[in-house]
Amino acid sequence: MNHVLITGGASGIGAGTAQLLASTGSRVSVLDRTSPEGIDWWNELAPESRGHWATVDASDTTALVAAVAEIAADELTGLVACAGVSVKESFMDSGVDTWSTTLAVNVLATALTCQTAARAMIDGGRGGAIVTVASTVAFGHVAGLGAHYHASKGAIVAMTRALAGELGMHGIRVNAVAPGLVRTPMTEFMRQTQGEEGLTLRVPLRTMADPSDIADAIAFLLSADASMITGHILPVDAGQLSVAGMPLDGFPDLLVERH
C-alpha cells in the first residue's frame, strides 16, 4: 500500500487530495496547523487508510522537519506539498512581515518538507513521487494577489524543476500542479465580492475548478501512470494560461488565509 503525506491537508485542495488517495487504496497522512478533531472526512476513513496526523504550523521549521521525518520514516512513498499562505496586499503596501510570512510558508517550508521526505525515500531505497502546488500566478500577473505571492509560486516552479533534476537518480519523481481559480476557502472572499461569473469571464471554460479537479491531477502525477514524467508543471486552470492576464480586483487590504 502506498503511503502519502499531504501537507495543508485539512481543507481545500489538500483535503480533496487526501480523500481521493484514500479512496483509491493509499494510506494517507496529514500535516496541518488544524487538529483532526472535527475533521469529519478524516475520522470517517477506514483504519487501513488513515496514517498519521501532525498538528504543526508550517512556519515552525523545527517542528515541521521533526514531524515530516517521523511520518516519512513509516515507508513513505509519496508527498503532496500543499501547505501555503496568501497575504492579500499590494507590492507598495507590503512590508517585511508580509514577505517573510509568505516566503517562510510557501517556499522554505515546502523546501524543508521535500528535503526531509526525499531523505527518507533515499534512505529506504524505495524511490517515490513528490508533487508540489504552484499556481498560474507563477506565469503571469494576477491583479490583487501581490508580488510576494507571485514570487513564492515562481520559486515553487523553479524548485520543482531543480529537485526533479537532482533527485531523479534516486528514483524520485518531482512534479507540480499549477491551479487556476479553485473553489476553496482561500478564494471564498473573491467569489463573494465578484461572483464566479465575473471571475471566470476571461477563462475559456468559463468555470472554476473544484478541489477534486486538482486532486485528480495530483493523483495522476503520483501514480505509476506518470512513471516517466518528472520536472513537469501541470496547469489545471480551465484554460486560464491560454489567454491574457486576468484582472482580479476587489481584494481587501490584508487578509491571510491558508489552503
**Residues noted as catalytic:** 135, 149, 153
DSSP 161-203: HHHHHHHGGGTEEEEEEEE-SB-SGGGHHHHHHHHHHHHTTTS
Q: What is the residue whose three cell numbers read 520543482?
A: 160
Gap between the Cα atoms of 51 and 27, Å rounded: 6
Gap between the Cα atoms of 175 and 109, Å rounded: 17
Q: Which three cell numbers stand for residue 18?
A: 487526501
Q: How many CA atoms lie within 13 A of 132 on its CB side?
A: 37
Q: Are 226 and 218 in contact (CB under 8 A)?
A: no
Gap between the Cα atoms of 213 and 179, Å rounded: 9
Q: Which of the 8 DSSP states describes residue 209?
A: B
DSSP 25-49: T-EEEEEESS-STT-HHHHTS-TTT
Q: Are 101 and 145 in contact (CB under 8 A)?
A: no
Residue 169, Cβ neighbours under 10 Å: how many?
8
Question: H/E element holding 72?
Answer: helix 61-72
How long is the chain?
259
